[in-house]
């Protein structure tokens, strides 16, 4: 992969996901940028989902043109690390104390998972895909370093959006009101322009049309020649095994995991996490799939009444992921729903054999997000007497170190 940094022609960075003409949609700017509450309420009432409007038609035309300002911002990327061997260097953390020692223990725990063939559940929150860590996460999925992925809706959409348009590097201190007037959204010090979401809406609508029309199973290959027929048959067999899609009368019923599979099929971009999950038939679970732009777009999708998202089938499926495995492990970056979803799935096999948690949440408010390893042991979600560890740290700082030490062969290609 080419390194990315600074401004420049965005057409050279992104991978335009999918094919076909753009659907005739309106404009999402009013929903994102209207500041008058009464005006926004009236807009929403006048464009209720039952009237089959696009959320883009709720846009505000008063947003200032900030294209030149956006172009000057550096592109968010995780590809600037120079090739460096940390396999031995990381041992220095063993006796350094505090979270440095926990970092060393996390590396050792992941090495044990890798050595003993544990099925690894990888969990990460959406902000990490907004950051440059997306590139490293993509490398792990591409090289089949993990067996299951659990994430949130923001991560699903941010990965696809970055194949269309890049996110930009800003600062934590940027004025929110000014950003609002310029059509820019801040995630920490990462800036995502409204235009990125507008393009994603058009892209996702085409995918939803294909799902509702039943153009899912088999992939629509040409079928000409024995080699192509064999490939098409193999793909159909894979999709039957993956499941998650069915017709019920006039309805298209699809699970979140199958929806992400279809997004990965459409993405056609080697920088996309979901492209490689699709290519490797790697299951990706997202129990809160509607908690983001995806949910907004589906709400205002003109054929929404023909589409059903089946969450329950995915719950049953992830609960079976580890039951018959000899060993399971987890690497969970961030917390919240991704953490609990992975831990709870392993409850059905009496707990994980290995677990590495990386987050900054504290336990004092009783939240699952902040809970330490021993609390999960009390629930039977992690086995007793394991060497599982929690690293209290920002994943954007420590995960590149962990990855370089545990998967040096992958990291060398990722940075090069």
> Mean pLDDT, to the nearest integer, of 253-262?
97
Per residue in 225-238, pLDDT (tens digit) is 555 545 555 665 56
Spatial distance between the Cα atoms of 193 and 183, rounded to a whole number of angstroms? 6
Spatial distance between the Cα atoms of 325 and 331, rounded to a whole number of angstroms? 17
Tokens 């777009």, residue located: 297
Of the CA atoms within 13 Å of residue 324, those in its CB half-sphere come to 3
Q: 128 in helix, strand or coil? A: helix
Asked which of 73-87, 150-164, 349-363 is least confident by mean pLDDT, the reply is: 73-87
Q: For position 309, what pLDDT does the model report?
A: 96
Contact criterion met (CB below 8 Å) for 412 and 130:
no
Asked which of 55-59, 152-156, 400-404 is least confident by mean pLDDT, the reply is: 55-59
Spatial distance between the Cα atoms of 259 and 385, rounded to a whole number of angstroms? 38
Per residue in 290-300, pLDDT (tens digit) is 999 999 999 99
Q: For position 66, what pLDDT does the model report?
A: 83
- Residue 302's contacts (CB-CB under 8 Å, 6 or more residues apart) are 52, 53, 54
> Mean pLDDT, to the nearest integer, of 320-329?
96
For the chain, the helix, strand and coil percentages under 3-state DSSP, each to the nearest 5: 50, 10, 40
In the structure encoding, which two tokens stand for residue 337, read together?
A: 């729903």
Spatial distance between the Cα atoms of 261 and 275, rounded to a whole number of angstroms? 8
Spatial distance between the Cα atoms of 311 and 285, rounded to a whole number of angstroms? 10
Q: For position 84, what pLDDT does the model report?
A: 73
Domain map (residue ranges) of the chain:
85-165+196-415
The superfamily CATH assigns to domain 85-165+196-415 is Deoxyhypusine synthase (3.40.910.10)
Tokens 């060993």, residue located: 327
Q: For position 233, what pLDDT does the model report?
A: 55
Whether residue 22 lies in the annotated active site? no
Instruction: For the chain, give the percent of residues with pLDDT over 90.
Output: 70
- Highest-scoring range by mean pLDDT, 61-70, 77-86, 105-114: 105-114
Among residues 191, 121, 167, which one has the least CA distance to residue 333? 121
| pLDDT band for position 24 (cuts 50, 70, 90) | very low
From the list 29, 165, 381, 390, the catalytic residue is: 381
Q: For position 293, what pLDDT does the model report?
A: 94
Tokens 């990381």, residue located: 90
pTM of the model: 0.82
């Amino acid at each position: 992969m080419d390194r990315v940094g600074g401004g420049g022609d965005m057409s050279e960075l992104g991978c335009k996901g999918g094919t076909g003409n753009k659907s005739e949609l309106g404009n999402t700017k009013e929903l994102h940028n209207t500041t008058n509450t009464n005006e926004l309420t009236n807009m929403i009432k006048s464009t209720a989902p039952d009237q089959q409007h696009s959320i883009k038609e709720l846009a505000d035309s008063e947003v200032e043109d900030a294209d030149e300002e956006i172009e000057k911002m550096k592109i968010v990327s995780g590809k600037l690390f120079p090739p460096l061997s940390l396999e031995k260097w990381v041992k220095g953390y063993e006796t350094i104390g505090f979270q440095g020692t926990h970092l060393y223990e996390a590396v050792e725990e992941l090495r044990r998972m890798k050595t003993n063939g544990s099925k690894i559940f990888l969990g990460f929150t959406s902000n990490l895909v907004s950051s440059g860590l997306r590139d490293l996460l993509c490398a792990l999925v591409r090289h089949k370093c993990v067996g299951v992925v659990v994430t949130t809706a923001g991560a699903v959409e941010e990965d696809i959006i970055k194949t269309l348009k890049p996110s930009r590097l800003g600062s934590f201190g940027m004025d929110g009101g000014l950003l609002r007037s310029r059509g820019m959204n801040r995630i920490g010090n990462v800036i995502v322009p409204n235009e990125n979401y507008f393009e994603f809406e058009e892209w996702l609508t085409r995918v939803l049309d294909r799902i509702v029309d039943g153009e899912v199973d088999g992939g629509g290959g040409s079928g000409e020649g024995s080699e192509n027929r064999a490939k098409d048959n193999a793909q159909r067999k894979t999709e039957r095994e993956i499941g998650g899609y069915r017709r019920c009368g006039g309805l298209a019923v699809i699970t979140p995991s199958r929806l992400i599979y279809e997004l990965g099929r459409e993405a056609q971009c080697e920088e996309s996490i979901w492209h490689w999950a699709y290519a490797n038939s790697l299951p990706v679970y997202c129990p809160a799939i509607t908690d983001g732009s995806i949910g907004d777009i589906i709400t205002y999708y003109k054929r929404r009444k023909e589409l059903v998202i089946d969450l329950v089938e995915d719950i049953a499926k992830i609960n079976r992921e580890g039951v018959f495995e000899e060993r399971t492990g987890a690497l969970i970056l961030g917390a919240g729903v991704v953490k609990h979803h992975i831990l709870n799935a392993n409850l059905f096999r009496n707990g994980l054999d290995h677990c590495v948690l990386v987050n900054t949440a504290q336990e004092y408010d009783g939240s699952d997000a902040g809970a330490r390893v021993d609390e999960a042991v009390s629930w039977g979600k992690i086995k007793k007497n394991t060497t599982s560890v929690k690293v209290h740290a920002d994943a954007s700082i420590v995960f590149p170190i962990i990855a370089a030490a545990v998967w040096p062969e992958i990291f060398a290609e990722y940075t090069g």
